[in-house]
Amino acid sequence: MSRKNGRAKRQKNKLQQLDYISEDNVVIDFHSSPHNDQYHPSHSRKSSSPAKQIKPIQPKNKSQDMFMAAIKTHTLVFGLGPAGTGKSYCSAAMAAQALVSGDIDRIIFTRPAVEAGNSMGFLPGKLDEKFDPYFSAFKSCLINNAGKGVIECALKNGNITVEPLAYMRGKTFNRAFVVLDEAQNCTPEEIKMFMTRIGEHSTVVISGDLSQSDIRCYSGLHDAICRTHNVKSVYVHEFEYSDIVRSDIVKDILMCYDDVDQKMHKYRSEC
């Protein structure tokens, strides 16, 4: 082998050793020991730009602060409340922080594949492409908290996975931050199956709005809260209309449609 060909081969092998280069030229290593800050960008190899640090999480009100505190100290947290209260924002912020700091190995996002209103019909593409419309809002929250390059890198390497709820059967969540969104559309059987996937060193957040169920049967979210709210390391957090941070008009619109007392306290009277 000529000296030129040998040098080219060594250069090719060297490039193959890099795990991934994000869009902002930050090289991130995903394959170090999972118990040794495997995902922290500050431990990455040298790159042409400084490693990104995750933004400090800033809750927008006291209710969000309490919700985030509960996520830090409990294994299973239910987040209930109307649209615009920041359930997805808080969950994504905490998930991004846990992944970047190395506290968990992966983020798992799931939700029941139930559409609001009329069906969009058949969606072309592979499974992840079909499910992407359901994941896009949560992905945006992750990017806002950890940066686009970091999140796309994590998706490429499998540190963030997105799957329909129906694909959760038989799995175990170990060292993971798991988010079940739109849980009001789960049946009791589905949400029981999901909760029994929880393994060691994991955090699970189940969020939903009991007034916006798109299924005709009894909501599994309501059933799960009634059954598990007294279990150790389970926390139920309720957001109120006053906690809506999206805009004032959203608050006014929702109050036109919903009865506050019936919506936010329905599960209490039936437990």
pTM over 0.85: no
Can you say how many angstroms the Cα of residue 168 is from the centroid of all Cα atoms in its chain?
A: 15
pLDDT digits (tens, 9 = 90+) for 135-157: 888 999 999 888 999 999 999 99
Upper half-sphere CA count for residue 167 (Cβ side, 13 Å): 12
Domain definitions of the chain by residue range:
58-270
How far apart are alpha carbons 156 and 231 in whole angstroms? 36
Each residue's pLDDT tens digit, 166-188: 889 899 999 999 999 999 999 99
Amino acid at 140: S
Question: According to the model, what pLDDT value does residue 134 have?
Answer: 74
Q: What is the pLDDT of residues 209-251, one digit of tens each?
A: 988 776 667 789 999 999 999 999 999 999 998 999 988 898 8
Quick one: average pLDDT of 81-106?
Answer: 93
Q: How confident is the model at residue 43 (pLDDT cuts 50, 70, 90)?
A: very low
CA distances from 101 to 54, 70, 97 (A): 9, 18, 6
**Cβ atoms within 10 Å of 149's Cβ, excluding its own:** 21
- Residue scoring higher pLDDT (79 or 134): 79
- pLDDT tens digits for 46-86? 333 344 555 667 889 999 999 999 999 999 999 999 989 99
Instruction: Give me the pLDDT at residue 57, please.
Output: 79
Concatenate the DSSP letters of all residues of 117-182 into one string.
Answer: SS------S-HHHHHHHHHHHHHHHHHHHH-HHHHHHHHHHTSEEEEEGGG-TT--B-SEEEEE-S
In 3D, which of 159, 173, 177 has the Cα closest to residue 29? 159
- Pick among 3.40.50.300, 3.50.50.60, 3.40.50.720, 3.30.1280.10: CATH of 58-270: 3.40.50.300
Q: Could you tell me if residue 160 is left (phi over 0), alpha (psi between -120 and 50 degrees) or otherwise beta?
A: beta
Dihedral angle sign, alpha carbons of residues 167, 169, 170, 171: positive
Higher pLDDT, 87 or 124: 87
Locate 188 and state its tokens: 């009791």
- % of the chain at pLDDT higher than 70: 66
- Per the DSSP assignment, residues forming a β-bridge with 177 are 107, 203
